[in-house]
Amino acid sequence: MSKKDQIQKNNVPVHIAIIMDGNGRWAKARGEERFVGHQEGVNSVRAVVEASAEIGVKYLTFYAFSTENWSRPKAEVDALMGLLVKTIKAEVPDLNKNNIRLLGIGNLKALPIDVQEEFEEAIQETAHNTGLTVVIALSYSSRWELKNAIHNIIKDVKQGQVKESDISDELISSYLTTKNIPDPELLIRTSGEYRISNFLLWQIAYSELFFTDKFWPEFRKEELYEAIIDYQKRERRFGKTSEQV
Ligand code: FPP
């Protein structure tokens, strides 16, 4: 039976979040520039989006650029920004053809103006789609997002729009950039690193974590199916006992 056929259709994660890692090392192992790894990484993004749409995942979040990534060499940051603009622009027709909506999370205002504009345009142009939602985390970090949320909650409490007694999990979630996006059931990280790296710290409280040694450019449809099959074998207890769930 193929890996795809082994997936139980009634237990596909609604939301999968991915920390794409290892582009640089993948390229280096081939004697190529790091950028070649990022370019090949785009093909993995495409494959994983396609596979997710086919099996009925509703939300797919990619950690494409963290707030910490701004401290990489300027040439790499510029090249990554260029690749993002080019990729997003080129993919809009296919996204529309496949009923896929694009969303962005993170400190998008920190992005170069052309990236902001292209991204905003792609978001508008796909806003009507009702199939898979692809969320790109750009200039994102969880601590930035949480600090921002705390500032805004305090401001709204001071202005009387929120009462201190209103503060709940749901209220905090509604102040995050992932507002209206369900928490991921599955978080995947590639390249043999076992870290969360400031990604969706609040949202992954109950997520299942899947780590693989494959570098991101090697992570394609079959690797996604493997991660989902592994997820489906797990018992999600949310703090309860096995007997209770
Ligand atoms: C991690 O590899 C990858 C990134 C920081 C960038 C990922 C970006 C893309 C694949 C571009 C397109 C994305 C979308 C969603 C359109 P690394 O550079 O940290 O690799 P290393 O750990 O081996 O150095």
Domains and CATH numbers, the chain: 11-141+184-232 (3.40.1180.10)
Nearest CA, atom 8, ligand 1: 64
- Residue nearest to ligand 1 atom 16, measured at CA: 84
Helical residues (DSSP H) of 192-240, grouped into ranges: 221-232
Specify the pairing of strand 101-105 against strand 15-19.
unpaired
Ligand 1 midpoint to CA 181 (Å): 23
Mutate to test the pocket of ligand 1, among 23, 46, 126 (most ligand atoms within 8 A of CB): 23
- For the chain, the straight-line distance linking the first and the last C-alpha, in angstroms and rounded, comes to 29
Q: Are 138 and 104 in contact (CB under 8 A)?
A: yes
214 within ligand 1 shell (Cβ under 6 A): no
Q: Considering only CA atoms, which of 215, 168, 191 is closest in space to residue 43?
A: 215
Verify whether residue 94 is a known catalytic residue.
Answer: no
Q: How far is residue 243's CA from residue 237's CA, in Å, rounded to a whole number?
A: 9
Catalytic (active site) residue 21? yes
Task: Count other Cβ atoms within 10 Å, centred on residue 134.
Answer: 24
| Residue 231, beta-bridge partner list | none
- The finding on whether 23 has its CB within 6 A of some atom of ligand 1 is yes
Task: Give the distance, in angstroms, between the CA of residue 66 and the centroid of all CA atoms in the same chain.
Answer: 11
Distance CA 199, CA 145 (A): 10
State which H helix or E strand residue 25 sits in.
Answer: helix 23-29
Q: Residue 64 C-alpha to ligand 1 middle, in angstroms?
A: 6
Name the one residue in this structure whose structure tokens are 């969880």.
Answer: 142
Check if 217 has its Cβ closer than 6 Å to any atom of ligand 1. Answer: no
Sheet with 208-211: list strands edge to edge: 101-105, 133-140, 59-66, 15-19, 186-189, 208-211
Which residue has its alpha carbon closest to ligand 1 atom 1? 21
Pick the catalytic residue from 11, 69, 152, 213: 69
Q: Counting atoms of ligand 1 from 1, which one is nearest the CA of 65?
A: 5
d(CA 207, CA 119): 28
- In the set 5, 10, 11, 21, the catalytic residue is 21
Query: What single DSSP character describes residue 117?
Result: H
Name the β-bridge partners of 16.
Answer: 60, 186
For the record, the structure tokens of 116 come out as 């902001």
Residue nearest to atom 24 of ligand 1 (CA): 24
pLDDT at position 225: 98
Which segments of the chain have a pLDDT < 70? none
- pLDDT on residue 97: 97
Give the integer Cα–Cα distance in Å for 245 and 171.
27
Distance of CA 8 from the midpoint of ligand 1 (Å): 30
